[in-house]
Amino acid sequence: MSHKQSLAIQLKLKRASFSIDLELDLPLDGITAVFGPSGSGKTSLLRCLAGLEHAQGYIRIGDQTWLDSGRHVSTPTWKREIGYVFQEASLFEHLNVRDNLYFGLKRVQQSHGSADLNEAVSLLGIEHLLGRSIQSLSGGERQRVAIARALATQPKLLLLDEPLASLDVAKRREVLPWLERLHDALKMPMVYVTHAMDEVARLADYVVLLEQGRVSACGPLTEVTCSRELALAIGEDAGVISTAIVVGRDEVHHLAQLLFGDAKLWVRDQGLVIGQTVRIRMLARDVSLTKTVQEDTTIQNHLPGVIESIDTFLHPAQAAVRVRCGREILIAHVTLRSLQRLELRPGSPIWCQVKSIALMI
């Protein structure tokens, strides 16, 4: 990672109820998800990046320094080129949708201003809301307007603090696809705070796992989803998230075939295009192990591999088995007793049976 392209952070913050002490070097492209239980300091980290909270340490974005407490440098919030989306939609009640969107834009000296606004407006599908008052918007619409307002200033860094947490399940389903569109359409780096694993699975390229104000894991999405730290943090929901390419389809059975590393997988066809790259998630509890390839089973996906490691950090009865399948890693949660019965140990060749594969599109 070159120095110019990174967001280098070192922060120390002490509060009565918790403290933060962390050091991070984040890539300045794609979405970095900051994931962790509530009270782990995710929001405080984001507020420090925005300058809304004052901490000791440094924050360097590319060649700019926003904070260097050693040299008494601290750029005030309004001079940092950020966009910030708060947990609850925080639109100005005294302005209508259009004036809310123009609020930030008017204060940025840029000639291509309204083009950026038009792009943000169409990316979030809010053209029809422009003349409306804030009071007449639904929760999901408010949050989309808030995101567009932050985007319109073309910030160097977009900070999102659990933008879906205040919405109910239906509204989340409404807003999430718009966020995925942003991810695909924009080069803008984003730091996305969440405690929902499905948002990480869908949006993140890079993951920071925060626990009690400290970084317990950090790296590219697939790498972190294979880590024992994340498995410990989310338990039953642990599983590998990776990418695969659509290579074929079975029109009769409405299935699509994916190339995952060297292996082929069948998934339900959801109108995929051949050649398309998709995100897949395989929960560790849906992966079982067999010594020989099974023919007389309803499970369709079998991947050959070699056991890399066996861990029993979750429960004395349960093992987290890390299997290398070509270039890819799979994690299986099985009982320790069945491992012993099958005499499996690191280095053993093995077949992974994957009961279900979630497609993230």
Binding interface with another protein (CB under 8 A): 50-52, 76-79, 82-84, 86, 90, 92-94, 103-104, 107-108, 135, 149-150, 153
Q: For another protein, which is the closer residue by CB, 158 or 215?
A: 158
C-alpha closest to that of 81 among 59, 53, 100, 99: 59
Q: For another protein, which is the closer residue by CB, 78 or 184?
A: 78
Q: What value does the CA radius of gyration of the chain take, rounded to a whole number of Å?
A: 23
Q: Tokens representing 98?
A: 């259009």
Asked if 73 and 57 count as a contact pair (C-beta separation under 8 A), the reply is no
Q: For another protein, which is the closer residue by CB, 78 or 298?
A: 78
Which SS3 state, helix, strand or coil, does residue 186 take? coil
Asked if 167 and 135 count as a contact pair (C-beta separation under 8 A), the reply is no
| Burial of 135 (C-beta count, 10 Å sphere; 0-12/13-18/19+) | exposed
Q: For another protein, which is the closer residue by CB, 160 or 207?
A: 160
Q: Tokens representing 26?
A: 């984040």
Report which secondary-structure segment, H or E, holds 200.
helix 197-203
Q: For another protein, which is the closer residue by CB, 51 or 140?
A: 51
Minimum Å distance from CB 221 to another protein? 27
| Beta carbons within 8 Å of 122's beta carbon, 6+ residues apart | none
CA distance 72 to 77: 15
Q: For another protein, which is the closer residue by CB, 75 or 212?
A: 75
CA dist 352 to 5, 168, 233, 240, 300, Å?
39, 36, 24, 13, 11
Minimum Å distance from CB 77 to another protein? 4
CA distance 105 to 59: 25
Asked if 6 and 29 count as a contact pair (C-beta separation under 8 A), the reply is no
Minimum Å distance from CB 88 to another protein? 8
Block residue for tokens 């933008």? 163
Minimum Å distance from CB 183 to another protein? 21
Q: For another protein, which is the closer residue by CB, 63 or 93?
A: 93
Minimum Å distance from CB 51 to another protein? 8
Minimum Å distance from CB 206 to another protein? 22
Minimum Å distance from CB 121 to another protein? 16
